[in-house]
Amino acid sequence: MRRWIAILAMLLPLTLQAQRDTVSHRLRPRVMPLVGASLYSAGTLISIRPEFHDHEISLYDKFGLADAKPLHFDDYLQFVPSLMPYVLHLAGLESEHNPGQVALLTGTACLVGLAAIETGKLLYQVPRPDGSANTSFPSGHTFAAVAGAEVLRREYGKRHPWVAYVSYGMAALVGVMRMYNSRHWFSDVLGGAGLGILSVSVSYYLWN
């Protein structure tokens, strides 16, 4: 139980801020890219500064996350936000773009984000908590979930705010599970979330 409390305590401020942003379509277009850049910058800073990263390691050890039994549903949950636009379309909910346009916007965001993720993993060489590889920063699972959630926010947040709440809630859960399963540090989750928002912002800028 303590490990869950610790993880949720670290993620709660980020999650609440993201959910506040999801229901505010009064946000200027430049705000979300700034949010994404801030999250990515914070994650990078924590990863590369030993005094900050050592604190992550001490918290990880303190709450015994290495002893947690892995739960792998995050491997599947990461894709749910990206699939939801098509389910919602079939259910009759109106979005800002048609399904083909949403697919183009999502695909472009994925290409941009995956290029940034692979570059980050190669550049920073951060060891994973479980010691399996030096590809911890940033979190690709978190990127996928947040990118899908951000597309949903942009497509449905104005007419159906609950969609944004649900999608960002799933994205936050993916981030929690990546830490619980000893696959990522908190900084990796921050970096992946930031890239998710930034990549979608780039995609919408290019195509709109």
The pLDDT tens digits for 99-129 are 999 999 999 999 999 999 999 999 999 999 9
Distance of CA 19 to the CA centre of its chain: 13
Max alpha carbon distance in the chain (Å)?
51
Q: Does residue 8 carry a pLDDT above 60?
A: no
Which residues have CB under 8 Å from 100's CB, separation 6+?
A: none
Q: Does residue 4 carry a pLDDT above 60?
A: no
Confidence of residue 81 (pLDDT cuts 50, 70, 90): very high
Q: Does residue 89 carry a pLDDT above 50?
A: yes
Q: CA separation (Å) from 137 to 79, 134, 184, 202?
A: 19, 8, 8, 21
* Tally of domains in the chain: 1
Tell me which amino acid residue 197 is. I
The pLDDT tens digits for 136-187 are 999 999 999 999 999 999 999 999 999 999 999 999 999 999 999 999 999 9
Angstrom distance (rounded) from CA 126 to CA 67: 21
Mean pLDDT of 79-97: 96
Angstrom distance (rounded) from CA 165 to CA 16: 10
**pLDDT value for 69:** 83
**pLDDT value for 20:** 44
**pLDDT value for 84:** 97
**pLDDT value for 63:** 78
**pLDDT value for 146:** 98
**pLDDT value for 38:** 96
The pLDDT tens digits for 24-72 are 444 445 799 999 999 999 999 999 999 999 999 998 888 777 777 889 9
What is the value of pTM for the model shown? 0.85
Residue 104 burial (CB count, 10 A): 15
3-class secondary structure, 181: coil
Angstrom distance (rounded) from CA 152 to CA 18: 13
**pLDDT value for 41:** 97
User: Which pair of structure tokens corresponds to residue 135?
Assistant: 């590809």
- Measured at the alpha carbon of residue 141, what is the angle toward residues 135 and 142, in degrees to the nearest 5? 105
The full DSSP string for 77-143 is HTTHHHHHHHHHHHTT---SS-HHHHHHHHHHHHHHHHHHHHHHHHHH-PPPTTSS-S--SS-HHHH
Closest among 192, 189, 161, 149 to 23, alpha carbons compared:
161
Containing domain of residue 155, as a range?
A: 2-207
E strand or H helix that includes residue 56: helix 50-62
**pLDDT value for 208:** 82
